[in-house]
Amino acid sequence: MFDFDPEIISLAPLWYVAFLLSLTCHEAAHALAAQLGGDDTAARGGQVTLNPLPHIQREPTGTILVPILSLLLAGWMLGWASAPYDPYWQQRYPRRAAWMALAGPGANLVLAILTGFVILWGVGAGYFAPPEYVSFTGLVVPVGEGTVEGIAAFLSILFAQNILLMAFNLMPVPPLDGATAIGVVLPEELMLKWLDFINQPGFSMVGLLAAWYLFGEIFMPIFVTAVRTLYWPVL
């Protein structure tokens, strides 16, 4: 029988709202970048939207079941959605496809930065204060009680969630975005060979297992650096 942390259970709704917002922006950015690059597959499927419902309907397991299980078992939320694209478009325009892949993590970076500005504004205005000990749900602590406590927790989770999604998806293994995004810096001929290699059957499962195994070691230094960068202007 699992012994679930009561704090995690109580904050689960905030986690899920932050996760769904972050994931929806991530997938909408993929779809918009593909549309701007000449592939309207995701746009025709209704994915260029900040409405989470089309993304949930396309991947209910990755947007509902897996995030909840990952929060209960690991203490953070991971999951997935998907923006469809035309593989022939990717073969014809590998550089555009690379920018499309990079757009998702880029959206998470933008959200993390915007959340960071709100946190710093709150600190400057006296609503929040830097924590003595950092956690995913306690990147900033409230000064006082009431509504500000929930806002502080939500902003902490939203910042952490976007750093998490950005870092995980930038790992250069299929089917994660990083495996295609490296085409931004690779010559197109080399990128086409790389795409042929990573699109082999079964390679995505191996990549996911490797990413899941390694991510815990990789993420914490990234997270600590992000938090230090966040508080650099006020410390």
Residue 230 near residue 190, CB atoms below 8 Å: no
| b/e burial code for range 99-121 (CB count within 10 A of at least 16 → b) | bbbbbbbbbbbebbeebbeebbe
- Cβ-contact 182, 194 below 8 angstroms: yes
Contact 159, 168 (CB under 8 A): no
Render pLDDT for 168-202 as a digit per residue (tens, 0 to 9).
999 988 889 999 999 999 999 999 998 888 887 77
Residue 146 has a pLDDT of: 82
Q: Residue 1 has what pLDDT?
A: 43
Contact indicator for 107, 221 with CB cutoff of 8 Å: no
Residue 152: per-residue pLDDT: 96
> How many CB atoms lie under 10 A from the CB of residue 1?
3
Tell me what pLDDT residue 2 has: 47
- Among 155, 111, 150, 166, smallest CA distance to 130 is for 155
pLDDT, tens digit only, all 235 positions of the chain: 445 667 778 889 999 999 999 999 999 999 999 999 999 999 999 999 999 999 999 999 999 999 999 888 888 888 889 999 999 999 999 999 999 999 999 999 999 999 999 999 999 999 999 998 888 889 999 997 888 999 999 999 999 999 999 999 999 888 899 999 999 999 999 999 988 888 877 777 777 787 777 887 888 899 999 999 999 876 6
CB 24 within 8 A of CB 83: no
Query: How many alpha carbons fall within 13 Å on the CB side of residue 101?
Result: 26
DSSP output for 159-228: HHHHHHHHHHHTSSSTTSHHHHHGGGTS-HHHHHHHHHHHTSTTHHHHHHHHHHHHHHHHHHHHHHHHHH
pTM: 0.92
pLDDT of residue 101: 97
pLDDT at residue 173, rounded to an integer: 87
How far is it, in rounded angstroms, from Cα 86 to Cα 197?
Answer: 18
d(CA 73, CA 75): 6
Q: Which residue has the tokens 């976007």?
A: 162
- Domain ranges (residues) in the chain: 6-231
- Number of residues written out for the chain: 235
